[in-house]
Structure 1
Amino acid sequence: MDTYSFLRELADSWVLLAMVIFYIAACLYAFRPSARAANEEAANIPFRNDGEVQSQDMEAK
């Protein structure tokens, strides 16, 4: 068996299985209940300084 065929069979079976297991583990890790606060904080990062920007706009007028 040449190297290409061996690597092709390996990627088609075991590497694919490893990638699927890694993906499921990453999803479970990201959506675990204890990470809710960290996820909400990260989701609100773009809006963190909105109050400051609005008050600066009001002062400029």
Structure 2
Amino acid sequence: MELYTLLRAFADSWMLLFMTLFFVGVILFAFRPGSRRVHQETAGMIFRNDDCPAPEKETR
């Protein structure tokens, strides 16, 4: 059996299964219970050091 044929058969069967399971695992990790607080904290990090609104620029 050629190396290409062997690798192609592996990629078509087991690697496809592995990649599908990895994708499902990442999705489940992102939407796991209790992760809402972490995602909200991460989304608000850029505003953490803001004490007041930005001043409005004068238009001419």
TM-score bracket for this pair, using the shorter chain length: 0.7 to 0.9
Within 5 Å, give how 1:1-61 maps onto structure 2.
1-51=1-51, 54=54
Identity of aligned residues (%): 44
Per-residue CA deviations over 1:7-57 (Å, capped at 9, x if unaligned) read 011111110111110110111011112111111101111222232674xx6
3-state DSSP of counterpart to 1:22: helix
Give the helix-richer structure, 1 or 2: 1
| Counterpart position of 2:58 | none
How far apart, in 2, do the equivalents of 1:38 and 1:12 lie? Answer: 37
TM-score calculated relative to the size of structure 2: 0.75
Moved over 3 A (4+): none
* Gap regions ≥5 residues in structure 1: none
Residues paired across the two proteins, number: 55
